[in-house]
Structure 1
Amino acid sequence: MRPTGSAIAAAALVLATACGGGGGTTTGSAAPGQSGFAPPKIGALQSVGTGEGQVNLVAWAGYVEDGSNDPKVDWVTPFEQATGCQVNTKVAGTSDEMVNLMKTGEYDAVSASGDASLRLIAGGTVAPVNTSLIPNYTDVFDGLKSKPWNSVNGVAYGVPHGRGANLLMWRTDTVKPAPDSWSVVFDPASPYKGKVTAYDSPIYIADAAVYLMATKPDLGIKNPYALDDKQFQAAVDLLKQQRQLVGEYWSDYTKEIQAFKSGDSVVGTTWQVIVNVAQGEKAPVQATLPKEGATGWSDTWMVAAKAPHPNCAYKWLDHIISPKANAQVAEYFGEAPSNAKACQETADAKHCETFHATDETYFSKVYYWTTPIPQCLDGRTDVKCKDYAEWTRAWTEIKG
Structure 2
Amino acid sequence: MKNRKTLLVGLCGVSLLLAACGTASNSSSSGSAPGAQGFTPPKLSALTALGQPEGQLNVLAWPGYAENGSNDPKVNWVTPFEQETGCKVNVKPFGTSDEAVTLMKTGGYDVVSASGDASLRLVASGDVEPVNTALVPNYNDVYPFLKNKSWNSVNNVAYGIPHGWGANVLTWRTDKVNPAPTSWSAMFDPNSPYKGKIIAYDSPIYIADAALYLMAHQPDLGIKNPYALDDKQFNAAVDLLKKQRPAVEEYWADYLKETQSLKSGDGTIGTAWQVTVNLAKSGGAPLQSTVPSEGATGWSDTWMVATKSQHKTCAYKWMDYIISPKVNAQVAEYFGEAPANSKACAEFTDKSLCDTYHANDAAYAAKIQYWTTPIPQCLDGRTDVKCKDYGDWTRAWTEIKG
Is 1:330 aligned to residue 332 of structure 2? Answer: yes
- Once the two structures are TM-superposed, the CA of residue 255 in structure 1 deviates from its matched residue by 4.7
What residue number does 1:24 align with? Answer: none
Q: Secondary structure at the match of 2:92?
A: strand
Cα distance in 1 for residues equivalent to 2:121 and 2:51: 29
Describe the superposition over 1:146-186 as per-residue Cα deviations: whole angstroms up to 9, x where unpaired: 22221223221101121121111223344333221112221
What residue number does 2:360 align with? Answer: 358
Q: Report the CA distance shift for 1:315/1:258 in structure 2 as closer, same or farther (over 3 A).
A: closer
Cα distance in 2 for residues equivalent to 1:314 and 1:382: 42
Describe the superposition over 1:312-348 as per-residue Cα deviations: whole angstroms up to 9, x where unpaired: 2212111111111111222233322211211111223
Is 1:372 aligned to residue 369 of structure 2? Answer: no
Describe the superposition over 1:124-150 as per-residue Cα deviations: whole angstroms up to 9, x where unpaired: 111111212211112112232222221
- Once the two structures are TM-superposed, the CA of residue 208 in structure 1 deviates from its matched residue by 0.5
Describe the superposition over 1:255-278 as per-residue Cα deviations: whole angstroms up to 9, x where unpaired: 544544555433321222222333
Cα distance in 1 for residues equivalent to 2:264 and 2:57: 45
- Once the two structures are TM-superposed, the CA of residue 187 in structure 1 deviates from its matched residue by 1.8
Amino acid at match of 2:291: L
- Once the two structures are TM-superposed, the CA of residue 369 in structure 1 deviates from its matched residue by 1.2
Amino acid at match of 1:52: E
Amino acid at match of 2:270: G
Cα distance in 1 for residues equivalent to 2:139 and 2:79: 21
Describe the superposition over 1:172-209 as per-residue Cα deviations: whole angstroms up to 9, x where unpaired: 34433322111222122323333333222211101001
Amino acid at match of 1:381: T
Q: Secondary structure at the match of 2:383?
A: coil
Q: Secondary structure at the match of 1:197?
A: strand
Uncovered stretches (5+) of structure 1, i.e. residues with no partner: 1-11, 21-31
Is 1:383 aligned to residue 372 of structure 2? Answer: no
Q: Secondary structure at the match of 1:129?
A: coil
Is 1:276 aligned to residue 278 of structure 2? Answer: yes
Cα distance in 1 for residues equivalent to 2:35 and 2:219: 20
Q: Report the CA distance shift for 1:54/1:169 in structure 2 as closer, same or farther (over 3 A).
A: closer
What residue number does 2:321 align with? Answer: 319
Q: Report the CA distance shift for 1:86/1:243 in structure 2 as closer, same or farther (over 3 A).
A: closer
- Tell me if structure 2 keeps the 8 A contact 1:34–1:376: no
Cα distance in 2 for residues equivalent to 1:337 and 1:214: 29
- Once the two structures are TM-superposed, the CA of residue 68 in structure 1 deviates from its matched residue by 4.5
Q: Report the CA distance shift for 1:106/1:185 in structure 2 as closer, same or farther (over 3 A).
A: closer
Amino acid at match of 1:122: A
Of 84-93 and 316-325, the range deviating more from structure 2:
84-93
Amino acid at match of 2:310: P
What residue number does 1:4 align with? Answer: none
- Tell me if structure 1 keeps the 8 A contact 2:212–2:294: yes
Of 350-359 and 39-48, the range deviating more from structure 2:
350-359
Q: Report the CA distance shift for 1:99/1:187 in structure 2 as closer, same or farther (over 3 A).
A: closer
What residue number does 2:127 align with? Answer: 125
Q: Secondary structure at the match of 1:243?
A: helix
Amino acid at match of 2:207: I
User: How high is the TM-score relative to the length of structure 1?
Assistant: 0.85
What residue number does 1:55 align with? Answer: 57
Q: CA RMSD in A?
A: 2.7
What residue number does 1:25 align with? Answer: none
What residue number does 2:156 align with? Answer: 154
Amino acid at match of 2:214: L
What residue number does 1:169 align with? Answer: 171
Of 379-388 and 255-264, the range deviating more from structure 2:
255-264
- Which of 72, 78, 81 lines up with 1:79 in the alignment? 81
User: How high is the TM-score relative to the length of structure 2?
Assistant: 0.84
Q: Report the CA distance shift for 1:273/1:67 in structure 2 as closer, same or farther (over 3 A).
A: closer
Describe the superposition over 1:372-397 as per-residue Cα deviations: whole angstroms up to 9, x where unpaired: 22222222333322122211111111
What residue number does 1:135 align with? Answer: 137
What residue number does 1:5 align with? Answer: none
- Tell me if structure 2 keeps the 8 A contact 1:51–1:309: yes
What residue number does 1:6 align with? Answer: none
- Tell me if structure 2 keeps the 8 A contact 1:298–1:368: yes
What residue number does 1:217 align with? Answer: 219
Cα distance in 1 for residues equivalent to 2:54 and 2:258: 44
Amino acid at match of 2:356: T
- Which of 387, 391, 394 lines up with 1:392 in the alignment? 394
Q: Report the CA distance shift for 1:251/1:44 in structure 2 as closer, same or farther (over 3 A).
A: closer
What residue number does 2:299 align with? Answer: 297
Uncovered stretches (5+) of structure 2, i.e. residues with no partner: 8-33
Cα distance in 2 for residues equivalent to 1:266 and 1:85: 43
Cα distance in 1 for residues equivalent to 2:183 and 2:35: 28
What residue number does 2:243 align with? Answer: 241
Q: Report the CA distance shift for 1:252/1:123 in structure 2 as closer, same or farther (over 3 A).
A: closer
- Once the two structures are TM-superposed, the CA of residue 39 in structure 1 deviates from its matched residue by 1.4
Of 59-68 and 291-300, the range deviating more from structure 2:
59-68
Cα distance in 1 for residues equivalent to 2:158 and 2:386: 25
- Once the two structures are TM-superposed, the CA of residue 122 in structure 1 deviates from its matched residue by 0.8
Q: Secondary structure at the match of 2:66?
A: coil
Aligned residue-pair number: 376
Q: Secondary structure at the match of 2:166?
A: strand
Q: Report the CA distance shift for 1:199/1:92 in structure 2 as closer, same or farther (over 3 A).
A: closer
